[in-house]
Protein backbone atom coordinates (compact mmCIF):
# COMPACT_ATOMS: atom_id res chain seq x y z
CA UNK A 1 0.00 0.00 0.00
CA UNK A 2 2.92 2.34 0.75
CA UNK A 3 4.31 1.93 -2.77
CA UNK A 4 0.87 2.38 -4.30
CA UNK A 5 0.39 5.60 -2.32
CA UNK A 6 3.81 6.86 -3.36
CA UNK A 7 3.03 6.54 -7.07
CA UNK A 8 -0.01 8.82 -6.81
CA UNK A 9 1.80 11.22 -4.48
CA UNK A 10 4.40 11.64 -7.22
CA UNK A 11 1.79 13.80 -9.01
CA UNK A 12 1.18 17.31 -7.75
CA UNK A 13 -2.57 17.85 -7.42
CA UNK A 14 -4.08 19.97 -10.19
CA UNK A 15 -5.77 22.22 -7.62
CA UNK A 16 -2.42 22.99 -6.01
CA UNK A 17 -0.39 23.68 -9.18
CA UNK A 18 -1.95 22.83 -12.56
CA UNK A 19 1.26 23.48 -14.50
CA UNK A 20 3.27 21.12 -12.30
CA UNK A 21 0.44 18.55 -12.38
CA UNK A 22 0.63 18.57 -16.18
CA UNK A 23 4.41 18.13 -16.19
CA UNK A 24 4.17 15.32 -13.64
CA UNK A 25 1.56 13.48 -15.69
CA UNK A 26 3.44 13.59 -19.01
CA UNK A 27 6.50 12.20 -17.23
CA UNK A 28 4.90 9.65 -14.88
CA UNK A 29 2.55 8.30 -17.56
CA UNK A 30 5.69 7.79 -19.70
CA UNK A 31 4.50 9.95 -22.58
CA UNK A 32 7.73 11.91 -22.99
CA UNK A 33 11.25 12.42 -21.76
CA UNK A 34 13.33 15.57 -22.01
CA UNK A 35 16.18 15.70 -24.53
CA UNK A 36 19.54 17.47 -24.43
CA UNK A 37 18.13 20.15 -26.78
CA UNK A 38 16.18 22.84 -24.94
CA UNK A 39 12.49 22.74 -25.79
CA UNK A 40 12.67 19.44 -27.68
CA UNK A 41 10.99 16.31 -26.34
CA UNK A 42 11.52 12.60 -26.76
CA UNK A 43 8.10 11.08 -27.40
CA UNK A 44 8.18 7.69 -25.70
CA UNK A 45 6.36 4.60 -27.06
CA UNK A 46 3.15 5.18 -25.07
CA UNK A 47 2.96 8.84 -26.09
CA UNK A 48 3.77 8.00 -29.70
CA UNK A 49 1.08 5.29 -29.72
CA UNK A 50 -1.51 7.97 -28.95
CA UNK A 51 -0.17 10.08 -31.84
CA UNK A 52 -0.27 7.04 -34.15
CA UNK A 53 -3.96 6.53 -33.34
CA UNK A 54 -4.68 10.22 -33.98
CA UNK A 55 -2.72 10.01 -37.23
CA UNK A 56 -4.40 6.80 -38.39
CA UNK A 57 -7.94 8.00 -37.76
CA UNK A 58 -7.42 11.49 -39.16
CA UNK A 59 -5.58 10.13 -42.21
CA UNK A 60 -8.54 7.88 -42.98
CA UNK A 61 -10.88 10.88 -42.84
CA UNK A 62 -8.60 12.89 -45.13
CA UNK A 63 -8.48 10.10 -47.71
CA UNK A 64 -12.24 9.62 -47.59
CA UNK A 65 -12.56 13.29 -48.65
CA UNK A 66 -10.19 12.85 -51.61
CA UNK A 67 -6.90 14.04 -50.12
CA UNK A 68 -3.54 12.43 -50.93
CA UNK A 69 -0.36 12.32 -48.88
CA UNK A 70 2.89 13.80 -50.19
CA UNK A 71 6.20 14.79 -48.65
CA UNK A 72 8.09 18.06 -49.10
CA UNK A 73 11.73 18.86 -48.21
CA UNK A 74 12.69 19.93 -44.69
CA UNK A 75 14.71 22.92 -45.93
CA UNK A 76 13.42 26.12 -47.55
CA UNK A 77 15.79 28.56 -49.33
CA UNK A 78 15.61 32.07 -47.87
CA UNK A 79 14.68 33.57 -51.26
CA UNK A 80 11.68 31.22 -51.50
CA UNK A 81 10.49 32.05 -47.99
CA UNK A 82 10.66 35.79 -48.79
CA UNK A 83 8.36 35.59 -51.81
CA UNK A 84 5.23 36.24 -49.71
CA UNK A 85 5.98 39.33 -47.62
CA UNK A 86 3.35 38.92 -44.84
CA UNK A 87 4.21 35.24 -44.49
CA UNK A 88 7.94 35.75 -43.86
CA UNK A 89 7.28 38.67 -41.49
CA UNK A 90 4.90 36.50 -39.46
CA UNK A 91 7.38 33.64 -39.10
CA UNK A 92 10.73 35.49 -38.96
CA UNK A 93 11.07 35.47 -35.13
CA UNK A 94 10.56 31.68 -34.96
CA UNK A 95 12.75 30.54 -37.86
CA UNK A 96 15.81 28.31 -37.41
CA UNK A 97 18.48 28.82 -40.08
CA UNK A 98 21.09 26.49 -41.58
CA UNK A 99 24.16 28.50 -42.60
CA UNK A 100 26.77 25.77 -43.20
CA UNK A 101 26.90 22.45 -45.01
CA UNK A 102 29.76 20.56 -43.42
CA UNK A 103 32.50 23.18 -43.09
CA UNK A 104 31.41 25.23 -46.09
CA UNK A 105 29.29 28.33 -45.69
CA UNK A 106 26.17 28.14 -47.82
CA UNK A 107 25.66 30.73 -50.56
CA UNK A 108 22.07 31.08 -49.36
CA UNK A 109 20.69 30.37 -45.90
CA UNK A 110 18.24 27.50 -45.59
CA UNK A 111 15.28 27.70 -43.23
CA UNK A 112 14.26 24.56 -41.33
CA UNK A 113 10.57 24.48 -42.22
CA UNK A 114 8.27 26.19 -39.71
CA UNK A 115 5.43 25.37 -42.18
CA UNK A 116 5.47 24.40 -45.86
CA UNK A 117 3.30 26.89 -47.77
CA UNK A 118 6.21 28.18 -49.86
CA UNK A 119 7.37 24.68 -50.83
CA UNK A 120 3.89 23.66 -51.92
CA UNK A 121 3.50 26.93 -53.85
CA UNK A 122 6.78 26.39 -55.71
CA UNK A 123 5.66 22.85 -56.59
CA UNK A 124 2.18 23.94 -57.67
CA UNK A 125 3.64 26.65 -59.93
CA UNK A 126 5.44 23.88 -61.86
CA UNK A 127 2.72 21.25 -61.62
CA UNK A 128 -0.51 23.12 -62.41
CA UNK A 129 -1.14 24.21 -66.01
CA UNK A 130 -4.79 23.51 -66.80
CA UNK A 131 -8.19 23.46 -65.07
CA UNK A 132 -7.91 19.67 -65.51
CA UNK A 133 -5.10 19.67 -62.92
CA UNK A 134 -7.43 21.07 -60.25
CA UNK A 135 -8.20 20.70 -57.47
CA UNK A 136 -4.94 19.62 -55.83
CA UNK A 137 -5.82 18.09 -52.47
CA UNK A 138 -2.51 17.34 -50.76
CA UNK A 139 -1.52 16.62 -47.16
CA UNK A 140 1.78 15.82 -45.50
CA UNK A 141 2.69 14.28 -42.14
CA UNK A 142 5.98 15.68 -40.89
CA UNK A 143 7.74 17.64 -38.17
CA UNK A 144 8.28 21.39 -38.13
CA UNK A 145 10.59 23.68 -36.16
CA UNK A 146 9.65 26.97 -34.49
CA UNK A 147 12.15 28.63 -32.17
CA UNK A 148 9.82 29.28 -29.22
CA UNK A 149 11.04 31.21 -26.18
CA UNK A 150 8.86 29.31 -23.68
CA UNK A 151 8.19 25.63 -24.20
CA UNK A 152 6.03 22.91 -22.65
CA UNK A 153 5.68 19.25 -23.72
CA UNK A 154 3.11 18.76 -26.52
CA UNK A 155 1.69 22.29 -26.12
CA UNK A 156 4.66 24.27 -27.42
CA UNK A 157 8.03 22.80 -28.39
CA UNK A 158 10.83 23.77 -30.80
CA UNK A 159 10.11 20.73 -32.95
CA UNK A 160 6.71 19.08 -33.11
CA UNK A 161 4.83 16.56 -35.22
CA UNK A 162 1.82 17.56 -37.25
CA UNK A 163 -0.02 17.27 -40.53
CA UNK A 164 -0.40 20.16 -42.93
CA UNK A 165 -2.89 20.11 -45.76
CA UNK A 166 -2.26 22.35 -48.78
CA UNK A 167 -4.84 22.60 -51.54
CA UNK A 168 -5.27 24.51 -54.79
CA UNK A 169 -8.64 25.27 -56.42
CA UNK A 170 -10.02 26.92 -59.51
CA UNK A 171 -12.33 29.35 -57.70
CA UNK A 172 -12.54 31.42 -54.52
CA UNK A 173 -15.76 29.59 -53.60
CA UNK A 174 -14.08 26.16 -53.79
CA UNK A 175 -11.17 27.32 -51.61
CA UNK A 176 -13.55 28.70 -48.99
CA UNK A 177 -15.63 25.51 -49.05
CA UNK A 178 -12.47 23.42 -48.50
CA UNK A 179 -11.41 25.64 -45.60
CA UNK A 180 -14.77 25.27 -43.82
CA UNK A 181 -15.11 21.55 -44.62
CA UNK A 182 -11.74 20.76 -43.09
CA UNK A 183 -12.57 22.80 -39.99
CA UNK A 184 -15.75 20.73 -39.59
CA UNK A 185 -13.76 17.53 -40.12
CA UNK A 186 -11.37 18.53 -37.32
CA UNK A 187 -14.20 19.47 -34.95
CA UNK A 188 -16.04 16.19 -35.60
CA UNK A 189 -12.84 14.19 -35.04
CA UNK A 190 -12.09 15.96 -31.75
CA UNK A 191 -15.61 15.39 -30.44
CA UNK A 192 -16.09 11.82 -31.70
CA UNK A 193 -12.58 10.45 -31.02
CA UNK A 194 -10.92 12.70 -28.43
CA UNK A 195 -14.18 13.46 -26.57
CA UNK A 196 -13.26 17.17 -26.57
CA UNK A 197 -16.02 19.64 -27.53
CA UNK A 198 -14.99 22.48 -29.83
CA UNK A 199 -16.14 26.01 -30.55
CA UNK A 200 -15.83 26.76 -34.28
CA UNK A 201 -15.23 30.23 -35.59
CA UNK A 202 -13.10 32.76 -37.41
CA UNK A 203 -9.94 34.37 -36.09
CA UNK A 204 -9.71 38.17 -35.99
CA UNK A 205 -7.35 39.80 -38.49
CA UNK A 206 -4.85 40.31 -35.68
CA UNK A 207 -4.83 36.59 -34.86
CA UNK A 208 -5.03 35.15 -38.38
CA UNK A 209 -2.22 33.21 -40.08
CA UNK A 210 0.52 35.27 -41.73
CA UNK A 211 -0.42 35.68 -45.40
CA UNK A 212 -3.96 34.31 -45.10
CA UNK A 213 -7.13 35.98 -46.33
CA UNK A 214 -9.03 34.31 -43.44
CA UNK A 215 -8.20 31.88 -40.64
CA UNK A 216 -10.74 29.60 -38.96
CA UNK A 217 -10.19 27.79 -35.68
CA UNK A 218 -11.49 25.14 -33.30
CA UNK A 219 -11.09 26.21 -29.66
CA UNK A 220 -11.38 24.01 -26.57
CA UNK A 221 -11.39 24.77 -22.85
CA UNK A 222 -8.93 23.06 -20.52
CA UNK A 223 -9.65 21.99 -16.93
CA UNK A 224 -7.89 25.08 -15.54
CA UNK A 225 -10.08 27.48 -17.54
CA UNK A 226 -7.51 28.29 -20.24
CA UNK A 227 -8.30 27.92 -23.91
CA UNK A 228 -6.40 25.78 -26.41
CA UNK A 229 -6.32 26.49 -30.13
CA UNK A 230 -6.70 22.89 -31.24
CA UNK A 231 -6.61 23.22 -35.02
CA UNK A 232 -6.77 25.87 -37.73
CA UNK A 233 -7.72 26.15 -41.38
CA UNK A 234 -6.69 29.02 -43.66
CA UNK A 235 -8.13 30.48 -46.83
CA UNK A 236 -5.26 32.07 -48.77
CA UNK A 237 -7.37 33.42 -51.61
CA UNK A 238 -5.05 34.05 -54.57
CA UNK A 239 -2.37 35.95 -52.60
CA UNK A 240 0.21 33.16 -52.57
CA UNK A 241 -0.69 32.25 -56.16
CA UNK A 242 0.17 35.78 -57.33
CA UNK A 243 3.42 35.82 -55.33
CA UNK A 244 4.49 32.44 -56.77
CA UNK A 245 2.90 32.63 -60.24
CA UNK A 246 0.52 29.68 -59.81
CA UNK A 247 -1.76 29.98 -62.83
CA UNK A 248 -3.95 27.67 -64.87
CA UNK A 249 -5.73 27.87 -68.20
CA UNK A 250 -9.52 27.69 -67.75
CA UNK A 251 -12.10 26.12 -70.11
CA UNK A 252 -12.23 29.36 -72.13
CA UNK A 253 -8.45 29.19 -72.52
CA UNK A 254 -7.97 32.19 -70.23
CA UNK A 255 -5.10 32.34 -67.73
CA UNK A 256 -6.24 32.53 -64.09
CA UNK A 257 -4.69 32.34 -60.63
CA UNK A 258 -5.57 29.42 -58.35
CA UNK A 259 -7.11 29.90 -54.91
CA UNK A 260 -5.54 28.02 -52.01
CA UNK A 261 -6.13 26.69 -48.53
CA UNK A 262 -4.03 25.13 -45.81
CA UNK A 263 -4.95 23.41 -42.54
CA UNK A 264 -3.24 21.59 -39.69
CA UNK A 265 -3.36 19.91 -36.30
CA UNK A 266 -0.40 18.73 -34.25
CA UNK A 267 0.79 16.75 -31.23
CA UNK A 268 -0.68 19.67 -29.24
CA UNK A 269 -3.90 17.62 -29.33
CA UNK A 270 -2.28 15.19 -26.88
CA UNK A 271 -1.79 18.09 -24.47
CA UNK A 272 -5.49 18.85 -24.88
CA UNK A 273 -6.50 15.27 -24.06
CA UNK A 274 -4.38 15.39 -20.87
CA UNK A 275 -5.74 18.76 -19.69
CA UNK A 276 -9.40 18.10 -20.50
CA UNK A 277 -9.79 14.56 -19.14
CA UNK A 278 -6.92 13.98 -16.65
CA UNK A 279 -7.31 13.85 -12.86
CA UNK A 280 -5.14 13.64 -9.76
CA UNK A 281 -4.33 9.98 -10.45
CA UNK A 282 -2.95 10.74 -13.92
CA UNK A 283 -4.24 10.38 -17.44
CA UNK A 284 -7.82 9.56 -18.36
CA UNK A 285 -7.94 8.47 -21.99
CA UNK A 286 -11.11 8.25 -24.09
CA UNK A 287 -11.39 4.63 -25.31
CA UNK A 288 -11.24 5.63 -28.99
CA UNK A 289 -7.73 7.07 -28.58
CA UNK A 290 -6.31 4.82 -25.82
CA UNK A 291 -3.34 2.66 -26.92
CA UNK A 292 -4.49 0.14 -24.30
CA UNK A 293 -8.27 0.05 -23.92
CA UNK A 294 -8.35 -2.79 -21.39
CA UNK A 295 -5.82 -3.94 -18.78
CA UNK A 296 -6.46 -7.44 -17.45
CA UNK A 297 -5.16 -7.80 -13.90
CA UNK A 298 -4.95 -11.35 -12.52
CA UNK A 299 -5.58 -11.45 -8.74
CA UNK A 300 -3.56 -14.05 -6.78
CA UNK A 301 -2.02 -15.02 -10.09
CA UNK A 302 0.12 -17.80 -8.57
CA UNK A 303 -3.03 -19.78 -7.77
CA UNK A 304 -3.75 -22.59 -10.21
CA UNK A 305 -5.75 -21.60 -13.27
CA UNK A 306 -5.75 -17.80 -12.72
CA UNK A 307 -3.15 -16.86 -15.35
CA UNK A 308 -4.61 -19.37 -17.79
CA UNK A 309 -8.09 -17.85 -17.43
CA UNK A 310 -6.67 -14.31 -17.73
CA UNK A 311 -4.89 -15.41 -20.92
CA UNK A 312 -8.16 -16.76 -22.33
CA UNK A 313 -9.88 -13.43 -21.64
CA UNK A 314 -7.06 -11.54 -23.36
CA UNK A 315 -7.29 -13.76 -26.43
CA UNK A 316 -11.07 -13.22 -26.65
CA UNK A 317 -11.06 -9.47 -26.09
CA UNK A 318 -8.04 -8.84 -28.33
CA UNK A 319 -10.10 -9.83 -31.38
CA UNK A 320 -11.68 -6.37 -31.44
CA UNK A 321 -9.96 -4.29 -28.74
CA UNK A 322 -6.48 -3.14 -27.67
CA UNK A 323 -5.76 -5.29 -24.60
CA UNK A 324 -2.83 -5.93 -22.29
CA UNK A 325 -2.45 -8.68 -19.69
CA UNK A 326 -0.35 -7.51 -16.76
CA UNK A 327 1.22 -10.73 -15.47
CA UNK A 328 4.22 -8.94 -13.92
CA UNK A 329 5.22 -9.86 -10.35
CA UNK A 330 4.06 -6.49 -8.96
CA UNK A 331 1.21 -6.37 -6.44
CA UNK A 332 -2.33 -5.88 -7.80
CA UNK A 333 -2.54 -2.49 -6.04
CA UNK A 334 0.63 -1.29 -7.75
CA UNK A 335 -0.67 -2.50 -11.11
CA UNK A 336 -3.96 -0.65 -10.53
CA UNK A 337 -2.06 2.59 -9.87
CA UNK A 338 0.19 2.19 -12.91
CA UNK A 339 -2.68 1.59 -15.32
CA UNK A 340 -4.67 4.43 -13.75
CA UNK A 341 -1.67 6.71 -14.24
CA UNK A 342 -1.59 5.75 -17.92
CA UNK A 343 -5.31 6.41 -18.29
CA UNK A 344 -6.29 2.89 -19.41
CA UNK A 345 -10.10 3.19 -19.76
CA UNK A 346 -11.11 -0.18 -18.34
CA UNK A 347 -9.57 -2.62 -15.90
CA UNK A 348 -10.67 -6.27 -15.85
CA UNK A 349 -9.87 -8.09 -12.61
CA UNK A 350 -10.00 -11.89 -12.42
CA UNK A 351 -9.07 -14.04 -9.40
CA UNK A 352 -9.83 -17.50 -7.93
CA UNK A 353 -13.13 -16.40 -6.39
CA UNK A 354 -14.22 -14.76 -9.67
CA UNK A 355 -13.40 -17.94 -11.60
CA UNK A 356 -15.56 -19.94 -9.16
CA UNK A 357 -18.44 -17.55 -9.78
CA UNK A 358 -17.77 -17.42 -13.57
CA UNK A 359 -17.38 -13.63 -13.37
CA UNK A 360 -14.91 -10.79 -13.76
CA UNK A 361 -14.82 -7.33 -12.20
CA UNK A 362 -14.74 -4.31 -14.52
CA UNK A 363 -13.45 -0.99 -13.15
CA UNK A 364 -13.91 2.24 -15.12
CA UNK A 365 -10.95 4.62 -15.04
CA UNK A 366 -13.03 7.80 -15.13
CA UNK A 367 -15.64 7.05 -12.46
CA UNK A 368 -13.95 4.06 -10.72
CA UNK A 369 -17.32 2.29 -10.89
CA UNK A 370 -17.03 -1.48 -10.27
CA UNK A 371 -19.17 -3.74 -12.44
CA UNK A 372 -19.50 -7.49 -11.85
CA UNK A 373 -20.00 -9.31 -15.15
CA UNK A 374 -20.59 -12.93 -16.11
CA UNK A 375 -17.71 -14.26 -18.23
CA UNK A 376 -20.33 -15.40 -20.77
CA UNK A 377 -21.34 -11.74 -21.32
CA UNK A 378 -17.90 -10.18 -20.94
CA UNK A 379 -17.25 -9.20 -24.57
CA UNK A 380 -20.66 -7.56 -25.02
CA UNK A 381 -20.52 -5.77 -21.66
CA UNK A 382 -16.95 -4.49 -22.14
CA UNK A 383 -17.89 -2.90 -25.48
CA UNK A 384 -21.01 -1.33 -23.95
CA UNK A 385 -19.05 0.14 -21.05
CA UNK A 386 -16.39 1.59 -23.37
CA UNK A 387 -19.05 3.22 -25.58
CA UNK A 388 -20.80 4.72 -22.56
CA UNK A 389 -17.47 5.98 -21.17
CA UNK A 390 -16.57 7.63 -24.51
CA UNK A 391 -19.90 9.47 -24.57
CA UNK A 392 -19.85 10.44 -20.90
CA UNK A 393 -16.33 11.89 -21.15
CA UNK A 394 -17.57 14.15 -23.96
CA UNK A 395 -20.63 15.17 -21.94
CA UNK A 396 -18.51 15.90 -18.88
CA UNK A 397 -16.14 18.07 -20.95
CA UNK A 398 -19.10 19.91 -22.52
CA UNK A 399 -20.61 20.58 -19.10
CA UNK A 400 -17.28 21.87 -17.78
CA UNK A 401 -16.90 24.21 -20.76
CA UNK A 402 -20.47 25.51 -20.50
CA UNK A 403 -20.18 26.03 -16.72
CA UNK A 404 -16.98 28.02 -17.28
CA UNK A 405 -18.29 30.19 -20.13
CA UNK A 406 -19.49 33.62 -19.02
CA UNK A 407 -20.82 36.81 -20.58
CA UNK A 408 -19.62 40.37 -20.00
CA UNK A 409 -20.96 43.74 -21.12
CA UNK A 410 -18.28 45.94 -19.51
CA UNK A 411 -14.50 45.77 -19.08
CA UNK A 412 -14.89 45.59 -15.30
CA UNK A 413 -17.15 42.55 -15.63
CA UNK A 414 -14.74 40.90 -18.05
CA UNK A 415 -11.71 41.60 -15.86
CA UNK A 416 -13.42 40.23 -12.73
CA UNK A 417 -14.67 37.09 -14.45
CA UNK A 418 -11.27 36.23 -15.90
CA UNK A 419 -9.66 36.85 -12.52
CA UNK A 420 -12.18 35.07 -10.30
CA UNK A 421 -13.53 32.35 -12.62
CA UNK A 422 -11.09 31.43 -15.40
CA UNK A 423 -12.83 30.33 -18.58
CA UNK A 424 -14.25 31.73 -21.80
CA UNK A 425 -15.96 35.13 -21.78
CA UNK A 426 -18.49 36.00 -24.46
CA UNK A 427 -18.48 39.75 -25.15
CA UNK A 428 -19.34 42.11 -28.00
CA UNK A 429 -16.63 43.81 -30.11
CA UNK A 430 -16.69 46.79 -32.45
CA UNK A 431 -14.09 45.27 -34.80
CA UNK A 432 -11.33 47.77 -33.99
CA UNK A 433 -7.92 46.07 -33.45
CA UNK A 434 -7.12 48.81 -30.90
CA UNK A 435 -9.92 47.52 -28.64
CA UNK A 436 -8.68 43.96 -29.09
CA UNK A 437 -5.21 45.05 -27.99
CA UNK A 438 -6.60 47.06 -25.05
CA UNK A 439 -8.54 44.02 -23.81
CA UNK A 440 -5.37 41.92 -23.96
CA UNK A 441 -3.34 44.54 -22.07
CA UNK A 442 -5.94 44.98 -19.35
CA UNK A 443 -7.10 41.36 -18.84
CA UNK A 444 -4.38 39.15 -20.34
CA UNK A 445 -7.08 37.55 -22.53
CA UNK A 446 -6.93 37.25 -26.31
CA UNK A 447 -9.73 36.86 -28.83
CA UNK A 448 -10.14 33.11 -29.25
CA UNK A 449 -12.59 33.28 -32.14
CA UNK A 450 -15.61 34.99 -33.69
CA UNK A 451 -17.98 31.99 -33.43
CA UNK A 452 -20.13 30.94 -36.37
CA UNK A 453 -23.04 30.70 -33.91
CA UNK A 454 -23.41 34.37 -33.07
CA UNK A 455 -25.27 35.59 -29.98
CA UNK A 456 -26.36 39.12 -29.12
CA UNK A 457 -24.90 39.85 -25.68
CA UNK A 458 -25.32 43.64 -25.89
CA UNK A 459 -25.45 46.49 -28.40
CA UNK A 460 -22.05 47.96 -27.60
CA UNK A 461 -18.38 46.96 -27.65
CA UNK A 462 -17.20 45.69 -24.25
CA UNK A 463 -14.12 47.91 -24.52
CA UNK A 464 -15.03 51.28 -26.11
CA UNK A 465 -18.82 51.39 -25.88
CA UNK A 466 -19.26 52.02 -29.63
CA UNK A 467 -21.79 49.97 -31.65
CA UNK A 468 -20.78 46.31 -31.66
CA UNK A 469 -20.32 44.23 -34.81
CA UNK A 470 -19.57 40.73 -33.53
CA UNK A 471 -19.77 38.55 -30.44
CA UNK A 472 -16.32 37.14 -29.63
CA UNK A 473 -15.05 34.43 -27.31
CA UNK A 474 -12.20 35.82 -25.19
CA UNK A 475 -9.90 33.94 -22.85
CA UNK A 476 -6.43 33.26 -21.61
CA UNK A 477 -4.83 30.51 -23.62
CA UNK A 478 -1.92 28.14 -24.00
Q: What is the CATH number of the domain that holds 447?
A: 3.30.110.30
Side-chain-facing half-sphere of 164: CA atoms under 13 Å:
19
301 in the same domain as 261 = no
Average pLDDT, the chain: 95
Are 347 and 240 in the same domain?
no
More confident of the two residues 88 and 66 = 66
CATH code of residue 32: 3.30.930.10
The answer to whether residues 168 and 314 belong to one domain is no
Check pLDDT > 80 for residue 220: yes
Q: Is 282 within a domain?
A: no
397 found inside a domain: no
Contacts of 32 (CB under 8 A, 6+ apart): 26, 41, 42, 43, 44, 47, 153, 154
pLDDT tens for each residue of 127-139: 999 999 999 999 9
Number of structural domains (the chain) is 3
CB 312 within 8 A of CB 351: no
Asked if residue 423 and residue 360 are part of one domain, the reply reads no
331-382 pLDDT tens trace: 999 999 999 999 999 999 999 999 999 999 999 999 999 999 999 999 999 9
Q: Could you tell me the residue range of the domain that residue 458 belongs to?
A: 405-475
Averaged pLDDT for residues 144-153: 92
Please indicate, yes or no, if residue 400 is contained in any of the structural domains: no
Q: How many CA atoms lie within 13 A of 188 on its CB side?
A: 10
Asked whether residue 283 is assigned to any structural domain, the reply reads no
Residues 223, 299 within the same domain:
no
Q: What integer pLDDT is reported at residue 420 of this predicted model?
A: 92
- The reported pLDDT for the residue numbered 4 is 44
For residue 357, tell me if it sits in a domain.
yes
Do residue 209 and residue 72 come from a single domain? yes
Q: Which pLDDT tens digit goes with each residue over 90-110?
A: 777 889 999 999 999 999 999
| 264 alpha-carbon distance from chain centroid | 10
Q: Is residue 287 part of a domain?
A: no
- On whether residue 394 sits in a domain, the answer given is no
Tell me: pLDDT of 45 over 90: yes
Other beta carbons less than 10 A from residue 450's beta carbon: 20
In a domain, 226, yes or no: yes
DSSP element (H, E) containing 73: none
Based on the fold, state whether residues 317 and 423 are members of the same structural domain.
no
Does 132 lie in the same domain as 228? yes
Distance between CA atoms of residues 424 and 262, nearest Å: 27
Tell me, yes or no, whether 270 and 329 share the same domain: no
pLDDT in tens, 302-324: 899 999 999 999 999 999 999 99
Distance CA 134, CA 4 (A): 60
191 and 238 share one domain? yes
Q: pLDDT higher for 211 or 10?
A: 211
> Which phi and psi (to 5°) does residue 173 adopt?
-65, -40
pLDDT at 5 over 60: no
Q: Is the pLDDT of residue 83 over 80?
A: yes
Q: What percent of the chain has pLDDT over 90?
A: 93
- What's the average model confidence in pLDDT over 12-16? 95
Same domain, 216 and 309: no
pLDDT at 8 over 60: no
Judge if 247 and 299 occupy the same domain. Answer: no
Amino acid sequence: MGKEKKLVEAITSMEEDFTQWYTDVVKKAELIDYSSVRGCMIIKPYGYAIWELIQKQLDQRFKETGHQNVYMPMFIPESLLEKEKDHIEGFAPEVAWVTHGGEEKLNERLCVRPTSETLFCEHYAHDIQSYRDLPKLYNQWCSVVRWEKTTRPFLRSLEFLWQEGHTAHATAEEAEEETINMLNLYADFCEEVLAIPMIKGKKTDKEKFAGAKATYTIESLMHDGKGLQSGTTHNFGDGFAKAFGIQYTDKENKLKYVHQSSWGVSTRLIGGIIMVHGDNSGLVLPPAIAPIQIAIIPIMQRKAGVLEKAGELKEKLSQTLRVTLDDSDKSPGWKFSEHEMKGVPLRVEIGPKDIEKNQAVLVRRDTREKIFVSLDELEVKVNQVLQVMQQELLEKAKNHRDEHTYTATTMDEMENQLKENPGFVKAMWCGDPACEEAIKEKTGATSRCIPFDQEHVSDTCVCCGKPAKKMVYWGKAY
